[in-house]
Chains A and B, each alone.
Chain A
Amino acid sequence: MASDRVARSPWRWFWSGALVVSFGLYYLAGELLPRAATRYPAAWRIPLKDDISAFMNWLIEDATLGLVTFKEFTRGIAWVLEQPLNLATSLFATGFLSGVGSNAEQILPPLSWVAVIAVVYLMGRYARDVKLALLVAGCFGYLALFGQWHSAMVTLSSIVIAVPFGVAGGLLLGIAGYRWRAFERAITPVLDLMQTIPIFAYLVPILFLFGFGPVAAMIGTIIYAMPPMVRVTMLALRSVPDEVVEFGRMAGCTRRQLTWKVLVPSASSGLMVGVNQVIMLSLNMVIIASMIGAGGLGYDVLTSLRRLDIGAGIEAGVAIVVLAIALDRLSQAYAARTPTGRAGGETSLVKRHPWTLLALGIVVAAYLGGLLFAALAEFPQAWQITTGPFWTALVKWVNVNFYDTLEAVKAALLINVLVPVKRFLLAMPWAWVIFLVAAAGWWLGGWRLSLLTAALSTFILVTGQWADAMVTVYLTGISVVIAALIGIPVGIAAAGNDRAWRVVQACIDTLQTLPSFVYLIPVVMLFRVGDFSAMIAIVAYAVAPAIRYTAHGIRYVPTELVEAGIVSGCTPRQLLFKIRLPLAMPEIMLGINQTIMLALSMLVITALVGTRDLGQEVYIALTKADTGRGIVAGLSVAFIAIIADRLIAAGSNRVRRRLGLQ
């Protein structure tokens, strides 16, 4: 404790000094330092992106694996994946066709909307109760009623195929990681990188290797959605009690039996959490995947956003949200479902599989009914409702009546906050920034961390991304500060009161179900394009963890400590500031960490509303199909995320140790 105090004060001096020096540099750098101090000279750049592009070209043009070329190999994989996807699309959306193009003839219609709604109702009923069943059926009914059925079914069919692949792949990798420590050590940094690197960055290589179209989009979705499943699998398998594993061995299980009959089923409730994650991430990917050829709702949102057709964009966006909510609640219910069995030993098929048989019966009945009444096969146009004009009118009304107010708010924030911060960061000499990042690493985690942060930031510098990176830091930084300023007080307020907490929790759960892209729609409606719109979208997307972790941290401060405070005569304010907040601090820091990660992932998406940062760089690389540029910029975003993550984690651990919580 004593040494800690001694060690702390020099750092305080250091950071105060650093602040003064920074301001000094801001005002003087322009005159005193050469231009190369703030603008990294192009001649010093390492042409990494060209190398990557060249490698990619070689891979596609020349690389061979024995008899087949690499490209044929990847296209082969694509073909294999295409078969189940075609089947699902035929089943849900287009029906089974013979022939191609306009000559195609429908042999068998797709599943009737009645059948799909009935099946999801039964699934809800089976997984939990009538309430859930009604919710899920209502969600699908909404899709039919509001004319989104066809697109939604196209999206659903790609999810129905992508999710099993993501789950199976994640499960197998996770099992391998569980079994071989070395494999886990190898795969963990890859997972870290995959979860922080922006999706756009690996869309380009996927495009090259697998071509443009629904299959490439699905592969992108699988790669994006798989990492959490790998982690969850390793975690869930590790938490199977030792005794259960020992029992399996004593029962004489072979390795395979141990894995599939003991470990995986015992860990199933944990694994279902991973399945839920895969589903949600796949849905999150829906719109982005449409950039490389996925159809369905994502495509609708993207095209209407490009046309600035607000009404259509909102309709399709809401449909994605509705689909997401339905699948999320359904999969969560399956995860929490605990079988009970009191009944005797019935063995007849009907009694063992009542739900499946009922669902099959309804599907067949709906199909036969569809042959007689067209309304059963396809939801009639006449019944559909469109809300598009309403939204367009609403936006028009808001813009007519509040244009000046909104514009004033936007201008004030831009002039007083955003622009000065941006200028300040861009004026900092790069050497000084890298020095400070390294110093922070040293301060919080010792020399290893210092080395890591310095190396990662140097990578960004030498690959020529410095200015873009600074804009990224500025936009993320401001958004995170605003998200924290909103999130922490809301979290504190919500923590004090059970009912408030339930309401807030329901809100942030729903917020986190929304695909990130959806946030852009209202923002663009109200503020059009630019940094400000991007900031609003990022704050909205990233505020949830700040609230959640703050409330969680404060609610779980040990009761004894709070009671000790009350007995010592603390006022409620003192209780909050002297006991609850300091003890909740490590948790709050983790919340901020999550906020930063979400902010960075949203940042890339806001490239669509015209920011000028690394996100834009990645997005441009995607539109120009420039692999090297995309990957280098993507890695830079990932590195910024990793620097922030490691620094905050180290800081949180320090606080935790000081509080004796570890």
Chain B
Amino acid sequence: MTGDNRIKLACQGVWKLFGNGEREFLSRHGDSVDDEALKRAGLIGAVRDVNLDIGEGEIFVIMGLSGSGKSTLVRCLSRLIEPTAGRILFNGEDLLAAREAELIDIRRHKMGMVFQHFALLPHLTVLGNVAFPLEVQGVARRERESRAREIIKLVGLEGRERYFPRELSGGQQQRVGIARSLAVEPELWFLDEPFSALDPLIRREMQDEFMRLQNVLHKTIVFITHDFDEAIRLADRIAIMKDGRVIQVGTPEELVIAPATDYVAEFTNHIPRAKVLTLGSIMRPSSSAAYAERFHADERVADVAVRFDAGNVYAVVNAGGDVVGEVTRDDLVEVFMGRRDG
């Protein structure tokens, strides 16, 4: 996230404990709760002291294996579950202080959510499902249906408006889920493992589709997944969760270059370096030689490698067009061979 971006959603010291007497327990122990104390109190620490800042227009991926607390965390962020402690700031305002009516209003206009198992309403057609969030707001039928048709077209389901969910394939159903969550033009878009229930080939297609949509829409996105490859592919930044705690937050590159723990390293080890490392992270200081071509520092190695010829030196430039360093084809080869971590 670059510094000038506004923070859309912030999460400060959020806890979610399951069990009896969890609030008293937490106020007694403060933030220094260890596993032993939790166990003795008979509590389960689903989310523990999580602090996150999610910037406007960012794709923020929360990645963790099952039981890591990622689903609970996203439900705290959307206040589907009441956190035991902590603050959630949405556009700078405390979401947890919002009353029922305010919360309903926020959800109606500013949030959208996509679910792992689609959560489509079986008694409504595709059109009815997509128009549903507008229907509960009381938007007139003609208007909400024309709006729904537009979004259905956007996700590529034109012509299936009158189908019922069970008449569609899994991938198509999730397109409906995505269309439905976009119907109210939300500022904040939650996706809870949206592609996990799909076959690998369809999953890849849907990821591409998702990126295409985001290029058009520029939403602020909180994306949950248990698939690290998916996280790397889609994320601007990733938060890795384990046992209810966030153990590292960073760009894909940062995680690969400097995993905070062995646990993170286990995920990053098998990731091909060329897919995450940028030219900026492997460049050497500029020697002001004659440059064959200029590349942006944010370009990923794997994406530009074919344009490198042996014997030439290439310039790396920053956003302002100033030369900040240089690379040669040999530098790239080192990355592909796995000899360099940046």
Q: Which residues of A contact B (CB under 8 A)?
A: 241, 243-244, 246-247, 249-254, 257, 261-262, 265-266, 268, 338-345
Tell me the bound Cα distance from A340 to B107 in angstroms: 31
- CB proximity to A under 8 Å, residues B107-128: 107-109, 111-113, 115-119, 121-125
Binary interface profile of B, 79-105, with partner A (CB < 8 Å = 1, else 0)? Answer: 010000000000000000000000011
Residues of A within 8 A of B118 (CB): 243
A262 near B133: Cβ-Cβ < 8 Å = no
B122 contacts A341, C-beta separation under 8 Å: no
CA distance A250 to B163 in the complex (A): 24
Q: B113–A257 contact, CB under 8 A?
A: no
Contact A250 B113 (CB under 8 A): yes
Evaluate contact between A246 and B133: CB separation under 8 angstroms.
no
Asked if B107 and A249 sit within 8 Å, CB to CB, the answer is yes
Instruction: Give CA–CA (A265, B80) in the complex, Å.
Output: 21
Interfacial chain A residues near B308, Cβ < 8 Å = none
Q: List 26 A-B contacts (CB under 8 A).
A: A241-B117, A241-B119, A243-B119, A244-B119, A246-B75, A250-B78, A250-B112, A250-B113, A250-B190, A252-B104, A252-B107, A252-B136, A253-B104, A254-B136, A257-B136, A261-B135, A262-B121, A338-B166, A339-B123, A340-B164, A340-B167, A341-B125, A341-B164, A342-B163, A343-B162, A345-B162
Nearest A residue (CB) for B115: A243
Chain A hits for B107, CB < 8 A? 249-252
- How far is it, in angstroms, between the C-alpha of A342 and the C-alpha of B80 when the chains are bound? 35
Give the distance to chain B from A241, nearest Cβ to Cβ, in Å.
Answer: 7
Distance A340 CA – B162 CA, assembled complex (angstroms): 8
Residues of B in contact with A, size category:
35 or more
In the A-B complex, the 5 residue pairs with the smallest Cβ-Cβ separation, listed nearest first, are A252-B108, A243-B119, A252-B107, A247-B119, A251-B133
In the assembled complex, how far is the CB of residue A71 from the closest CB belonging to chain B, in whole angstroms? Answer: 43
Q: Is the CB of A344 within 8 A of B137?
A: no
Do B113 and A247 touch across chains, with their CB atoms under 8 A apart?
A: yes
Separation in Å of the B255 CB from the closest CB of chain A?
29
Known A-B contacts A250-B111, A252-B133, A268-B123; the reply to A243 vs B80 at CB < 8 A is no
| Residue of chain B at shortest CB distance from A342 | B162
B161 interface residue (CB < 8 Å to A):
yes
A252 / chain B contacts, CB cutoff of 8 Å:
104-109, 133, 136-137
Question: Given that A241-B119, A266-B121, A345-B161 are contacting pairs, would A251 and B80 also be in contact in the complex, using a CB cutoff of 8 Å?
Answer: no
B-side residues, CB < 8 A to A, are 75, 78, 80, 104-109, 111-113, 115-119, 121-125, 132-133, 135-137, 161-164, 166-167, 181, 190
Q: Which residues of A contact B124 (CB under 8 A)?
A: 265
- Bound together, the chains give a CA A251 to CA B139 distance in angstroms of 13
A262 to B123: give the CA distance in the assembly, Å.
9
In angstroms, Cα B157 to Cα A655, docked, is 53
A residues less than 8 Å from B167 (CB atoms): 340
Q: Which residues of A contact B121 (CB under 8 A)?
A: 244, 247, 262, 265-266
List chain B residues, Cβ under 8 A from A257: 136
- Chain A residues near B115: list those with CB within 8 A: 243, 246-247
Given contacts A241-B117, A247-B119, A265-B123, contact A341 B163 (CB under 8 A): yes
Docked CA distance A243–B107 (Å): 16
What are the residues of chain A within 8 A of B78 when measuring CB–CB?
A: 250
What A residues does B164 contact at CB under 8 A? Answer: 338-341
Q: How far is the CB of B69 from chain A (nearest CB, A)?
A: 17
Q: Which A residues are in CB contact (< 8 Å) with B135?
A: 261
Name which of B78, B108, B132 has the most chain A CB atoms within 10 A of its CB: B132
Residues of A within 8 A of B122 (CB): 265-266
Q: Are A251 and B119 in contact, with the CB atoms below 8 A?
A: no
CB contacts (< 8 Å) of A339 on chain B: these are: 123, 164
Pick the contact of A341: B105, B109, B136, B162 (CB < 8 A). B162
CB distance from A99 to the nearest CB of B (A): 47
In Å, the complex CA distance between A336 and B119 comes to 21
CB distance B136 to A261 under 8 Å? yes
Closest to B192 in A: A243
Q: B109 contacts which chain A residues (CB < 8 A)? A: 252
The residues of B that contact A343 with a CB separation of less than 8 Å are 162
A246 partner residues in chain B, CB cutoff 8 A: 75, 80, 113, 115, 119
- Residues of chain A with a CB closer than 8 A to B137's CB: 252
B203 CB to closest chain A CB, in angstroms?
Answer: 18
The CA-CA distance from A330 to B122 in the complex, in Å, is 22
Residue of B nearest to A257 (CB): B136
Residues of A within 8 A of B119 (CB): 241, 243-244, 246-247
Cβ contacts under 8 Å, B123 to chain A? 265-266, 268, 339
Residues in A whose Cβ lies below 8 Å from that of B112: 250
Residue of A nearest to B75 (CB): A246
Kindly state the separation between the CA atoms of A343 and B163 in the bound complex, as whole angstroms. 9
In the bound complex, CA of A384 to CA of B75 (Å): 68
Please measure, in the bound complex, the distance between the C-alpha atom of A435 and the C-alpha atom of B281, giving whole angstroms: 84
Instruction: For the complex formed, measure the closest distance between the CB of A163 and the CB atoms of chain B, giving whole angstroms.
Output: 21
Residue of A nearest to B105 (CB): A252
